[in-house]
């Protein structure tokens, strides 16, 4: 990207889906984008940095219903959590877009109208396998075991409905030409072949509207077709241009095209195939780069709510310091690969990279300059006594920028840290304390000044990663990190001339033990508290226990809910089991395996309601996960399911 550097730079994160609160993956993408934006501003570019939330679709409609809220109320609540966290993390975005914004809705409707009039959108009947969780249709060939979503593993359902289609197949060759026009269209470059092969296998036209739910953007009024809402990906992807005023007030459209769309690898196909095809249809320029990062695991396991190992970025940043957290995220993992989060790895980075290499180097300079020269430093002798070290460091500084714009933040930081090793080695080799005893004050001063200047340049180039920490270092060395100091110290390669070093407290106090309880530790702590509470009440509950009585609190530990059976089928090779999909008003139906085949057939159950133990630990029956239990009563006359007297909303609590 450096060779095409221009005055305007447009950087985007994906807009985050409001079906859940922010997690470490969201933080990772946003911190990378923030680092790129800060660097670009520092070197003198006019930056527009966009983030926001994606708020339409069936999944949101269902999640809102499960919580007894309107979709808009639910979206408002979750969107605010994202915005608040980014503000607390000091993310330097220029606009936070929401797909429920009026200008976004108008812009999407305008785009639909343009593509329709061009002949790139037509109406037909769609029948396919649909995953509610991923908001995506899949072909039979793409399914796992003819049923399960290849992305999330959940069951798909057959959907047949009238739909508008986008002529994606029309753009196969133009997409392939775009990928080949430069090798870094898709980053990391290893992901490019994955996309190219998908397109070469042939593209089907894309269903872009739905009629089975209502929470979405309606079609333009000129089509007079009110039962359709736009498919979430057409709606969501358009945010990158509606944020600049496409279809409304286009005064910010001069920032288009985007220099980089930062995304997670799970949405690469949508951004590298659908999005450029939409842009081609609209006659808009295509983005320079689509960059897809990997997933974060925890101690080698994929994070999930069910495992209880999801990392809360705020909790970690609060405990270890936001800027230390930023450094770890950007340094630990090569972009595009999956990364493992552990507190021990974070502690090692803080103690080693930041504490020993960077912080200790500053402490050494503060100490020696104060002891020998009353904190006053003169760089006049640096080139005379340390020409090689200075040249080696400057050579590294000059090679860093391409790593950043290729989203190789770990390589950028690896290379930058080599200059700290040059500085530390210069001290150990020159031994200023010996020079002072030998009355060679000029040489001692030259070594201190060399290291101070390397630290000054490092603070400038590290500034986008750790903006507050580096300003503290710069202030200690008598300057401020900004465009002027970048041009002077990095671009022109100048040295600080004469300056006075200011003492600062140690920047990175050593950490010995993890500061945040792991999920297992939290569970253990909670268990201990429960044990204490049980012990304190033991004497008063002995009589009740003997009588088989339980307390109201014990009863309410069991979550009983009304559910609607939406699918039912026999389990092959089993005389007793049926596999049910039960709607409990959640994001997706629960799979429950029940031993009721002797008394009920699948056709007896679909559309009926049952009572479910909803907080039962998942178990496996004949290799299938069962996520609850349906309640039944059995006597000498057989078995009967426990059902509500009258129909109730799915998810209604029993108690």
* Main-chain phi, psi angles of 474, to 5 degrees: -60, -40
Residue 1, pLDDT > 50, answer: no
Q: What is the dihedral of CA 534, 537, 543, 545, to 10 degrees?
A: -20
Average pLDDT value for residue range 90-109: 98
Q: Which of 311-320, 469-478, 535-544 has the lowest mean pLDDT?
A: 535-544
pLDDT at 598: 87
Q: Could you give the count of Cα atoms lying within 13 Å of 649 in the half-sphere of its Cβ? A: 10
Looking at residue 148, the DSSP 8-state letter turns out to be B
Q: What is the pLDDT, as a whole number, of residue 525?
A: 65
DSSP for 298-332, written as a single string: ETTEE--TTTT----HHHHHHHH-HHHHHHHHHHH
Nearest to 382, CA basis, from 485, 294, 455:
455
DSSP letters of 554-585? HHTTS-EEEEEEEEEEEPTT-SS-EEEEEE-S
Q: Name the token pair of 595.
A: 């031993």
* Least confident span in 71-80, 106-115, 292-301: 292-301
Cis peptide before 369 (omega within 30 of 0): no
Would you say residue 518 has pLDDT above 80?
no
> Is residue 621 over pLDDT 90?
no
**pLDDT 10s digits, 378-417:** 999 999 999 999 999 999 999 999 999 999 999 999 999 9
**What CATH number does domain 558-654 carry, 3.65.10.10, 3.40.50.300, 2.40.50.140, 3.30.70.3190?**
2.40.50.140
Rounded distance between C-alpha atoms, residue 290 and residue 272, angstroms:
7
Q: Tell whether omega for the bond before 188 is within 30 degrees of 0, i.e. cis.
A: yes
Q: Where are the domains of the chain?
A: 2-293, 345-500, 519-550, 558-654
Q: How far apart are alpha carbons 350 and 466 in whole angstroms? A: 13
395 C-beta neighbours (distance < 10 Å), count: 11
**2-293 has CATH 1.10.3720.10 classification:** no
Which sign, positive or negative, has the C-alpha torsion 641, 642, 644, 646? positive
Q: Could you give the CA distance from residue 384 to residue 386 in angstroms, rounded to a whole number?
A: 6
DSSP labels for 524-554?
HHHHHHHHHHHHHHHHHHHHHHHTT---HHH
Which residues are 619's β-sheet partners?
626
pLDDT at 5: 44
Task: State how far the Cα of 91 lies from the Cα of 87, in Å rounded to an integer.
Answer: 6
pLDDT mean over 215-225: 96
pLDDT at 4: 42
Task: List pLDDT tens digits, range 294-313.
Answer: 999 887 777 766 677 789 99
Average pLDDT for 329-346: 94
Tokens of 555: 């009863």
Q: CA–CA separation, 144 vs 151, rounded Å?
A: 9
Look at 73 and 4; give whichever has higher pLDDT: 73
**Distance in angstroms between the alpha carbons of the first and the last residue of the chain:** 61
Question: Cα(335)–Cα(397) distance, rounded to whole angstroms?
Answer: 21
Q: How high is the mean pLDDT of the chain?
A: 91
Residue 508 to residues 321, 362, 363, 505, Cα–Cα distance (Å): 10, 11, 11, 9
Quick: pLDDT tens for 582-595: 999 887 899 999 99
pLDDT of res. 520: 64
Mean local confidence (pLDDT), 601-613: 89
Q: What confidence score (pLDDT) does residue 521 get?
A: 62
Distance CA 362, CA 504 (A): 9
Residues of the chain with pLDDT > 90: what percent? 73
pLDDT in tens, 529-543: 666 655 655 555 565
What is the CATH architecture assignment of 345-500? Orthogonal Bundle (1.10)
The residues pairing with 127 across neighbouring beta strands, listed in sequence order, are 160
For the segment 327-354, the average pLDDT, to the nearest whole number, is 96
* Average pLDDT of the segment spanning 544-552: 66
pLDDT for the residue 147: 86
CB 372 within 8 A of CB 441: yes
pLDDT at 234 over 80: yes
* pLDDT over threshold 50, residue 317: yes
Token representation of residue 551:
């307390």
Q: Which of 31, 48, 32 is nearest to 85 (CA)?
A: 31
CA gap 349, 298 in Å, rounded? 17
- Grade residue 6 by pLDDT with cuts at 50, 70 and 90: low
Taking the C-alpha atoms of residue 263 and residue 418, their distance in angstroms, rounded to an integer, is 30
Please say whether the beta carbons of 392 and 421 come within 8 A: no
pTM of this prediction? 0.78
């Amino acid at each position: 990207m450096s060779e095409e550097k221009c005055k305007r730079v447009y950087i985007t994160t994906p807009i985050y889906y409001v079906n859940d609160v922010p997690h470490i993956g969201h933080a990772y993408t946003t911190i990378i984008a923030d680092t790129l934006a800060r660097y670009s501003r520092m070197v003198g570019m006019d930056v527009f940095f966009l983030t926001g939330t994606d708020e339409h679709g069936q999944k949101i409609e269902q999640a809102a219903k499960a919580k007894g809220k309107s979709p808009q109320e639910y979206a408002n609540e979750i969107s605010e959590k994202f915005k608040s966290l980014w503000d607390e993390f000091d993310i330097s975005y220029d606009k936070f877009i929401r797909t429920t914004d009026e200008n976004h809705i108008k812009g999407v409707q305008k785009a639909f109208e343009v593509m329709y009039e061009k002949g790139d959108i037509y109406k037909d009947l769609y029948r396919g396998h649909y995953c509610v969780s991923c908001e995506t249709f899949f072909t039979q060939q793409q399914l796992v075991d003819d049923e399960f979503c290849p992305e999330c593993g959940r069951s798909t359902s057959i959907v047949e409905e009238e739909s508008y289609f986008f002529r994606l197949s029309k753009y196969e060759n133009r997409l392939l030409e775009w990928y080949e026009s430069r090798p870094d269209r898709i980053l990391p470059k290893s992901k490019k072949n994955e996309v190219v092969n998908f397109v070469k296998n042939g593209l089907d036209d894309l269903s872009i509207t739905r009629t089975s739910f209502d929470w979405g953007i309606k079609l333009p009024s000129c089509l007079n077709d009110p039962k359709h809402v736009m498919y979430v990906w057409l709606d969501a992807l358009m945010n990158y241009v509606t944020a600049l005023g496409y279809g409304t007030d286009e005064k910010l459209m001069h920032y288009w095209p985007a220099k980089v769309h930062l995304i997670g690898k799970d949405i690469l196909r949508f951004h590298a195939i659908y999005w450029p095809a939409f842009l081609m249809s609209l006659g808009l320029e295509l983005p320079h780069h689509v960059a897809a990062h990997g997933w974060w695991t925890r101690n080698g396991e994929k994070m999930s709510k069910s495992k209880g190992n999801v990392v809360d970025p705020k909790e970690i940043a609060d405990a270890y310091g936001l800027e230390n957290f930023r450094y770890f995220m950007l340094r630990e993992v090569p972009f595009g690969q999956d990364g493992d989060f552990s507190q021990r790895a974070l502690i090692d980075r803080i103690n080693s990279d930041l504490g020993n290499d960077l912080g200790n180097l500053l402490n050494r300079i503060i100490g020696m300059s104060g002891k020998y020269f009353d904190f006053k430093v003169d760089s006049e002798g640096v080139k005379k006594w340390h020409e090689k070290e200075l040249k080696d460091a400057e050579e590294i500084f000059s090679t860093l920028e391409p790593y950043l714009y290729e989203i190789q933040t770990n390589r950028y930081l690896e290379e930058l840290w080599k200059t700290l090793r040059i500085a530390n080695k210069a001290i150990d080799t020159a031994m200023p304390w010996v020079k002072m005893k030998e009355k060679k004050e000029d040489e001692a001063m030259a070594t201190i000044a060399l290291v101070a200047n390397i630290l000054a340049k490092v603070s400038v180039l590290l500034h986008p990663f750790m903006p507050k920490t580096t300003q503290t270092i710069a202030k200690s060395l008598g300057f401020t990190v900004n465009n002027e100091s970048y041009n002077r110290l990095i671009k022109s390669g100048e040295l600080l001339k004469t300056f006075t070093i200011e003492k600062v407290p140690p920047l990175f106090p050593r950490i010995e033990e993890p500061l945040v309880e792991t999920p297992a530790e939290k569970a253990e702590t909670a268990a201990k508290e429960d044990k204490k509470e049980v012990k304190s009440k033991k004497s008063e509950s002995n009589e009740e226990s003997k009588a088989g009585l339980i307390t109201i609190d014990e009863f309410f530990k069991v979550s009983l809910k009304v559910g609607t059976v939406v699918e039912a089928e026999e389990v092959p090779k089993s005389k007793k089991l049926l596999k049910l999909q039960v709607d409990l008003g959640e994001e997706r139906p629960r799979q429950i395996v029940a031993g009721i085949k002797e008394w009920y057939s699948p056709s007896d159950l679909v559309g009926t309601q049952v009572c479910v133990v909803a907080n039962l630990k998942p178990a496996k029956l004949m290799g299938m996960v069962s996520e609850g239990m349906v309640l039944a009563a059995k006597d000498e006359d057989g078995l009967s399911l426990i059902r509500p007297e009258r129909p109730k909303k799915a998810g209604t609590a029993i108690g």
